[in-house]
Chains A and B, each alone.
Chain A
Amino acid sequence: MSSTGVGALRNIPGATYAPATENEQPAGVAPTEGPAWSNVKAPDARSQQSATIAITNGRRAMRVFFANPNALFGTGFLGLVIAVALLAPVFFPDDPLSMVGRPFLWPGQDPAFPLGTDSLGRDVLSGILHGSRISLFVGLTATALGLTFGVLVGAVAGYFGGWVDDILVRLVEIFQTLPSFVLLVVLVAIAQPSATTVTLAIAVISWPTVARLTRAEFRAIREKDFVMAARSLGFGHARIIFREILPNALPPIIVTSSVMVATAILMESALSFMGLGDPNVVSWGSMIGTGRELVRTAWYLTALPGLAIVFTVLALNLIGDGLNDALNPRFSQDR
């Protein structure tokens, strides 16, 4: 689950990639406007198109984003989850793993525990509120790490080309061939589960997608006139990469990042469901994992934390969709 290429759902150029081939398949790329030669297989036709639209008006993008009801709902819900994560220790200062009431109280049975209690008498509501902390922490940190590393590798590979590119592409290919969730399980099992190792492991499996995407953008933008101008002015490599090319390569990376957070949250929940999460922290996945044994009698223990995951991930995906429409005008025509 959730270990598919991050660009799979949206038509992010360069994010869809078949490891064992260099064919530039127009996999899911739908150039709805522009030249009528949309089926051309020339390797650069696509990336050049994507490069021409890379320069996006920030204010216009903001306006499009906030005019989209789905994106607004996503932003609102994510804001709520962040607020809950920050305020959880204020509302429920006690350890969510401590026993506070009678076990197996169904939601609504006792006003003191609006969402009921689990088999050990732990408050489900407190668990869900506290669980948002680890989900968001892992999701955001792993994405930040993966983005940083992926952008660096992709930028270096795409900008310099040559043997550096060859080696880095091979590396990315290796990581994209390994089934990512299986690799994640192996990494966490070897490193012993804790919040840090889970975060690092998710970052390790998520950087290759970003690297691919960044490399494709850099290769296209590198040939533009303004980069040539910068070069002829004698700017150094670092300045050209970070000040000239990177800002123009950002839109697809921003879209990807919101989906990466969603994927990371799904991965973290799957890991803790399997008992490979941090044992000292309550998380939505681990709540489902413990509720699983009692799914026949007390299914609310499984259903409630699951709904929390679904809505948080849905919010992030809606934001990703909204960002995609706002930053990729090429695709927004038919949405």
Chain B
Amino acid sequence: MPALVRIVRTLRRTLVQAIPTLLGIIILNFFLLQLAPGDAADVLAGEAGSATEESVAALRARFGLDSPVLEQLATYLNNLAHFSLGFSPRYGMPVADLIAQRLPGTLTLMAVALVIAIFLGVVLGSLMATFAGRLPDRLLSVFSLLFYSIPSFWIGLMLIVFFSVKLGWLPSGGSGTIGSRLTGWPALLDTARYMVLPATSLALFYVAIYARLTRASMLEVKNQDFVRTAYAKGLTPFGVTARHVLRNALIPITTMAGMHIGGMLGGAVVVETVYSWPGLGRLAFEAVMGRDFTVLLGILLLSSLLVIIANAAVDLVHAWLDPRIGAR
């Protein structure tokens, strides 16, 4: 079957499965919003400071907040269809714009963290698989378990103490030198300096997962016939590991990396709080502190959408790479 047909088939199946999930999430989101204490009218009244019983009722009528729940659900869905997530009175701008402003920061952070995690994880995992059962393997196993047990916000703070306070090498927060007019290469370097610590704190937890996953799947591939053939051909052990074992062992890792998008978004909430990184997570934290539920639920909805897209992308990549997947 040609690759294109496979991809189109996978895309269709993924879409058919994603739509009910998305609908479920939207409806859940709506009811969570209903459960949240206080509605938009309360917030506006509070901001205005001089609201009366009548004016709040008038506000409710104007925003349709006094209509039946199902009618409100219809309005909510209609708004979503027009890419409107509501209005945040606290920031004085539409939630969708607010999120669009912060999304790139989070995505960059997540991408860098993911690259660090996969790179370190694959290196550690290959080492563990090479020395399987011997001392280096056991030591690295315990280490990876330790990484898995460290809360990211705590390791973030410890990295700040060590690298920014004691050594003074790296900045402790923010996303760039304030007031600097750098462009091009120096600007990129400046951002990178600010990104090292948050991305590392976020990545550490996933390093553990990828290391163990790489180890398991490499050990699995190692026993297969084509590896024996490669050795029989006289290839060097390193060549076999890198070209034959590792490449085949990477498929489960790409699957997992796609699944971790949701988890990383959650991790970003905490890490961004620690490093005051201007991203979605920091926005979520501010929204919690300001009890701004429209923003909070907008973030929840959008991040779920991100997870769905990431999973679909992983599916497509797999269908493209592996002929056996689209065939079913």
Interface of A toward B, CB cutoff 8 Å: 1-5, 8-11, 16-23, 25-28, 30-32, 38, 41, 70, 170-171, 173-174, 176-187, 189-190, 192, 262, 266, 269-270, 273-276, 285, 288, 292, 295-296, 299, 302-303, 306, 309-310, 313-314, 316-318, 321, 331, 334-335
Q: Are B145 and A317 in contact (CB under 8 A)?
A: yes
Rounded to whole angstroms, the CA-CA distance of A171 and B160 in the bound complex is: 41
Q: Are B220 and A30 in contact (CB under 8 A)?
A: yes
- With contacts A1-B267, A275-B289 taken as known, whether A183 is within 8 angstroms of B300 at the C-beta atoms is yes
Instruction: Look across to chain B and name the residue whose beta carbon is closest to the beta carbon of A306.
Output: B154
- With contacts A173-B21, A186-B32 taken as known, whether A310 is within 8 angstroms of B14 at the C-beta atoms is no
Q: Are A182 and B208 in contact (CB under 8 A)?
A: no
Instruction: Look across to chain B and name the residue whose beta carbon is closest to the beta carbon of A8.
Output: B209
For the complex of A and B, 9 pairs with smallest distance between CB atoms: A181-B266, A306-B154, A20-B311, A179-B262, A313-B149, A1-B267, A314-B149, A30-B220, A1-B152
- B196 at the binding interface (Cβ < 8 Å): no
Q: Are B153 and A310 in contact (CB under 8 A)?
A: no
Q: Are B217 and A310 in contact (CB under 8 A)?
A: no
- B6 at the binding interface (Cβ < 8 Å): no
Option from B263, B269, B270, B311 in Cβ contact (under 8 Å) with A18:
B311
Rounded to whole angstroms, the CA-CA distance of A59 and B310 in the bound complex is: 44
Q: Are B296 and A189 in contact (CB under 8 A)?
A: yes
Q: Are A4 and B288 in contact (CB under 8 A)?
A: no
Please give 13 more A-B residue pairs, beta carbons under 8 A apart, in addition to A18-B255, A182-B303, A292-B274.
A8-B256, A9-B209, A16-B255, A19-B308, A20-B312, A23-B318, A41-B325, A177-B262, A182-B269, A273-B270, A310-B150, A314-B149, A317-B145
- With contacts A28-B256, A189-B291, A310-B149 taken as known, whether A20 is within 8 angstroms of B262 at the C-beta atoms is no
Instruction: Identify which of residues 144-178 in chain B touch chain A, using a CB-to-CB cut-off of 8 Å.
Output: 145-146, 148-154, 157-158, 160-161, 165
Q: Are B25 and A178 in contact (CB under 8 A)?
A: yes
Per the CB 8 Å criterion, the residue count for chain B at the interface is: 84
- With contacts A181-B266, A310-B154 taken as known, whether A190 is within 8 angstroms of B32 at the C-beta atoms is yes
Instruction: Look across to chain B and name the residue whose beta carbon is closest to the beta carbon of A188.
Output: B288
Rounded to whole angstroms, the CA-CA distance of A23 and B151 in the bound complex is: 32
Contacts of B261 in A (CB 8 A): 179
Q: Are A288 and B153 in contact (CB under 8 A)?
A: yes
- With contacts A179-B265, A269-B151 taken as known, whether A174 is within 8 angstroms of B328 at the C-beta atoms is no
- With contacts A2-B205, A270-B270, A334-B219 taken as known, whether A318 is within 8 angstroms of B252 at the C-beta atoms is no
Rounded to whole angstroms, the CA-CA distance of A184 and B265 in the bound complex is: 12
Q: Are B304 and A302 in contact (CB under 8 A)?
A: no
Q: Are B165 and A296 in contact (CB under 8 A)?
A: yes
Option from B151, B154, B223, B262 in Cβ contact (under 8 Å) with A180:
B262
Q: Are B25 and A3 in contact (CB under 8 A)?
A: no
Interface centre among B133, B149, B269 (most CB of A within 10 A): B149
Contacts of A16 in B (CB 8 A): 255-256, 259
- With contacts A180-B262, A270-B270, A318-B145 taken as known, whether A21 is within 8 angstroms of B150 at the C-beta atoms is no
Contacts of B1 in A (CB 8 A): none
Rounded to whole angstroms, the CA-CA distance of A187 and B32 in the bound complex is: 8
Q: Min CB distance, B113 to chain A, in Å?
A: 11
- With contacts A1-B266, A5-B259, A274-B285 taken as known, whether A19 is within 8 angstroms of B311 at the C-beta atoms is yes
Q: Mark B264-307, 1 if CB is under 8 A from A, else 0.
A: 01110111011000000000110011010100110110011001
Q: Are A185 and B311 in contact (CB under 8 A)?
A: no
Q: Min CB distance, B134 to chain A, in Å?
A: 12
Q: Are B24 and A174 in contact (CB under 8 A)?
A: yes
Q: Min CB distance, B121 to chain A, in Å?
A: 12
Contacts of B20 in A (CB 8 A): 170
Q: Are B205 and A1 in contact (CB under 8 A)?
A: yes
Contacts of B157 in A (CB 8 A): 288, 292, 295, 299, 302, 306
Q: Are A23 and B325 in contact (CB under 8 A)?
A: yes
Contacts of B297 in A (CB 8 A): 186
9 examples of A-B residue contacts, CB within 8 angstroms: A21-B311, A173-B17, A179-B263, A182-B284, A185-B269, A190-B37, A295-B165, A299-B165, A309-B154
Q: Are A179 and B307 in contact (CB under 8 A)?
A: yes
Rounded to whole angstroms, the CA-CA distance of A317 and B149 in the bound complex is: 7
Contacts of A179 in B (CB 8 A): 261-263, 265-266, 300, 303-304, 307
Q: Are A182 and B209 in contact (CB under 8 A)?
A: no
- With contacts A179-B262, A179-B303 taken as known, whether A189 is within 8 angstroms of B288 at the C-beta atoms is yes
Instruction: Identify which of residues 182-225 in chain B touch chain A, using a CB-to-CB cut-off of 8 Å.
Output: 202, 205-206, 208-209, 212-213, 216-217, 219-220, 223-224
